[in-house]
Amino acid sequence: MYNKIMVPVDLAHIEKLGKAINTATDLAKLYGIPICFVGVTAGTPSEVAHTPEEFGEKLERFGAEQSKSHGLEIDTAAYQSHDPAVDLDKKLISAAREKQADLIVMASHVPGLREHIFASHAGTVAAHAGVSVFVIR
């Protein structure tokens, strides 16, 4: 059915990713397909990492932990952006193409007033990715 699952990962909010990761790993086991965790970071220091290299290492460690926990091989890919808040959607869509993912399993939050005015990241990715997007709340 699917060939590869991509899961966007925000290392600053790992505690909110459980349902999305569990859904992705269950689908990966069911269909026998690989998973790639993708993260986007700035080139400047952030609350998560001081450098893009450190961010990549943290993402890789997180992927290895999840791989061991779920009994699956999980690949990781870190992308750099000048302004992740602005470029996140484009970076994730581009990453899906680059990683040849045909399913994106993406965590979202409960919509609020802001989403009635601006599209959420998950909504924008779902509208423009060109592949199936499973948004998990």
Given this model, what pLDDT does residue 55 score?
A: 97
Rounded Cα gap, residues 25 and 72, in angstroms:
8
Looking at residue 78, its pLDDT comes to 98
CA dihedral 7, 12, 18, 24 (to 10 degrees): 0
* pLDDT attached to residue 84: 87
Taken as a whole, the chain contains a residue count of 137
The whole-number pLDDT of residue 51 equals 96
Rounded to whole angstroms, the Cα distance separating 121 from 62 reads 22
Choose among 20, 32, 34, 26: nearest CA to 108.
20
Handedness of CA 51, 42, 101, 68 (dihedral sign): positive
pLDDT for res 119: 52
Query: In tens digits, what is the pLDDT along the chain, a chain of 137 residues?
Result: 899 999 999 999 999 999 999 999 999 999 999 999 999 999 999 999 999 999 999 999 999 999 999 999 999 999 999 998 888 999 999 999 999 999 999 998 644 444 434 456 677 887 778 999 999 98
Please give the pLDDT value at position 4: 98
* Spatial separation of the C-alpha atoms in residues 83 and 136, rounded to whole Å: 25
pTM of this prediction?
Answer: 0.89
What pLDDT does 35 receive? 98
